[in-house]
Amino acid sequence: MPKMSGLDVAEELFRDKKSISKIVILTTFAKADYFQRAVNAKVSGYLLKG
């Protein structure tokens, strides 16, 4: 995504506390800080590629 990452989109969507969206992150990023950002953003799932 040229302007935002998928995680950026998830964080933006969940700023609205009424959001009922379900987001699953599919990524090659295995770093703990990226995973923690996803957890904090309240994503429904986090899958590693590869």
What would the pLDDT profile of 16-35 be if each residue is shown by its tens digit? 878 888 999 999 988 999 99
- Per the confidence metrics, is the pTM higher than 0.75? no
% of the chain with per-residue pLDDT over 90: 52
Q: If 0-12 CB within 10 Å is exposed, 13-18 middle and 19+ buried, where does residue 7 land?
A: buried
